[in-house]
C-alpha cells in the first residue's frame, strides 16, 4: 500500500514537472521577425518560433502586411523579450504573450491598427480589452483601418487556398485533354470525335493552340 502511494506521488510530481517546463516562460533576444505576428527568440542557444497570441496581422502579400512586419520589428528586433506561452500550434510554434520594455507586444500591435483580434482563438478575459483597442484604432482610422474595407487575413488565406485548388483543377483538366492530328489531312480532332483514333491520327497535341500553331486545322465535325 505504501509502495503504491509512493509511486503515485512520484508520478504526480513528474506530471507537475513536465507541465511546468512545458509552460515555462521564454526569455531571450529577438533574432528574427517573419511577419507582424511571428518572431524568433534566441534563448540559451536555442531558437523558438513565436506566434503572437490572440492577434492576426495582415499577410505579407496583403495591404499593410509589410507595415505590420516593420512595426513589430521596430518594437522588438534585437531586444530581449519575455514570452509567456499559451500553447503550441500545429506548426510547432509557441503561441504566447510577448512582453518588451514593460509593454505587451500583442496589445501594441492592435492599438497601432496593424492587427485584428483573433476571435477564433482569443478567449481570455484580456481579449475584451484588446477588442476595445481594436475598436479605437478602427474609429481613428489608423493603420490598416485607414482602408475603407480591409480584408481579415483568415479570409485572405481561405481565398488563396480556394484559388490554388481551382488553378490545380484547371491545370489537371487541361493536361488531361489531348488532341490527335491527322498527318495526311493536317486536321486535328478532339476526344470523342469519330476520327479521333483514325489510322493517320498519330500526332498528339496537348492544347488547341499547339495544334493550330503547328499548322493543323480544327475538325469541322467535332469543332475542337
Catalytic residues: 51, 59, 93
Give the whole-angstrom CA distance, residue 179 versus residue 154: 41
Q: Which of 107, 122, 131, 100 is nearest to 27 (CA)?
A: 100
Q: Which helix (H) or strand (E) holds 205?
A: strand 201-205
Give the whole-angstrom CA distance, residue 51 versus residue 91: 10
Q: Which of 153, 131, 133 is nearest to 69 (CA)?
A: 153
Q: Residues 95, 101, 104, CA angle at the centre, nearest 5°?
A: 40
Give the Å distances, CA to CA, from 52 to 55, 64, 93: 7, 17, 10
DSSP class of residue 114 equals: S
Burial class from Cβ neighbours inside 10 Å (0-12, 13-18, 19+) for residue 172 reads: exposed
Amino acid at each position: 500500500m505504501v509502495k503504491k502511494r509512493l509511486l503515485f506521488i512520484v508520478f504526480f510530481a513528474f506530471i507537475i514537472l513536465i507541465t511546468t517546463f512545458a509552460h515555462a516562460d521564454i526569455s531571450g533576444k529577438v533574432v528574427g521577425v517573419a511577419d507582424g505576428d511571428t518572431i524568433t527568440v534566441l534563448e540559451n542557444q536555442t531558437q523558438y518560433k513565436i506566434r503572437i497570441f490572440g492577434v492576426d496581422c495582415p499577410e505579407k502579400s496583403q495591404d499593410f502586411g509589410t507595415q505590420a512586419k516593420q512595426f513589430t520589428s521596430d518594437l522588438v528586433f534585437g531586444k530581449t523579450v519575455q514570452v509567456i506561452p499559451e500553447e503550441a500550434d500545429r506548426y510547432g510554434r509557441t503561441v504566447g504573450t510577448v512582453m518588451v520594455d514593460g509593454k505587451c507586444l500583442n496589445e501594441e500591435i492592435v492599438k497601432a491598427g496593424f492587427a485584428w483580434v483573433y476571435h477564433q482563438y482569443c478567449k481570455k478575459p484580456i481579449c475584451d480589452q484588446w477588442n476595445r483597442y481594436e475598436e479605437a484604432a478602427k474609429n481613428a482610422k489608423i493603420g490598416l483601418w485607414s482602408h475603407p474595407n480591409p480584408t481579415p487575413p483568415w479570409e485572405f488565406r481561405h481565398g488563396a487556398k480556394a484559388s490554388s485548388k481551382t488553378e490545380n483543377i484547371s491545370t489537371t483538366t487541361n493536361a488531361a485533354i489531348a488532341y490527335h492530328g491527322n498527318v495526311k489531312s493536317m486536321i486535328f480532332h478532339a476526344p470523342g470525335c469519330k476520327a479521333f483514333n483514325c489510322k493517320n491520327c498519330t500526332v498528339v497535341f496537348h492544347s488547341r493552340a499547339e495544334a493550330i500553331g503547328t499548322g493543323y486545322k480544327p475538325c469541322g465535325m467535332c469543332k475542337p
